[in-house]
């Protein structure tokens, strides 16, 4: 197994929103595990990074939360995508796709695209 990397700055919110869109409501631990799993276990998600990001997304209105019981019957906070979050996800995904297309041009032939 290769070395895990940290999550790139600016991408965590997009990964959280996409995971919630795909999986439905998730608690923090479940979100972290799913993001790491989706990366092929190449990303290392620090909880000190995840929970402030969840708080910020909730304050922005892109996600909402509610308390419930986890799979092992423990009290957990579940996060869910809002309509504003769905719009933000579409916008952020389009911006990221454009950014990666631009970067790919530079990497493909040394900037000769």
pLDDT digits (tens, 9 = 90+) for 31-60: 999 999 999 998 888 888 899 999 999 999
Residues 6+ apart with CB under 8 A from 76: 27, 28, 29, 67, 68, 69, 70
pLDDT band at 2 (very low <50, low <70, confident <90, very high): low
pLDDT band at 113 (very low <50, low <70, confident <90, very high): very low
CATH topology of domain 5-108: Arc Repressor Mutant, subunit A (1.10.10)
Q: How many CB atoms lie within 10 A of CB 31?
A: 23
d(CA 4, CA 76): 27
């Amino acid at each position: 197994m290769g070395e895990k990397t940290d999550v790139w700055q600016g991408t965590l919110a997009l990964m959280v929103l996409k995971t919630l869109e795909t999986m439905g409501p998730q608690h923090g631990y479940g979100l972290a595990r799913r993001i790491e799993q989706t990366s092929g276990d190449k990303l290392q998600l620090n909880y000190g990074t995840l929970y402030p990001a969840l708080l910020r997304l909730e304050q922005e209105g892109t996600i909402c939360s509610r308390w419930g019981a986890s799979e092992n019957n423990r009290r957990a906070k579940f996060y869910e995508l809002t309509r504003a979050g769905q719009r933000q996800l579409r916008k952020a995904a389009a911006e990221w796709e454009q950014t990666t297309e631009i970067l790919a041009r530079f990497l493909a032939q040394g900037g000769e695209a």
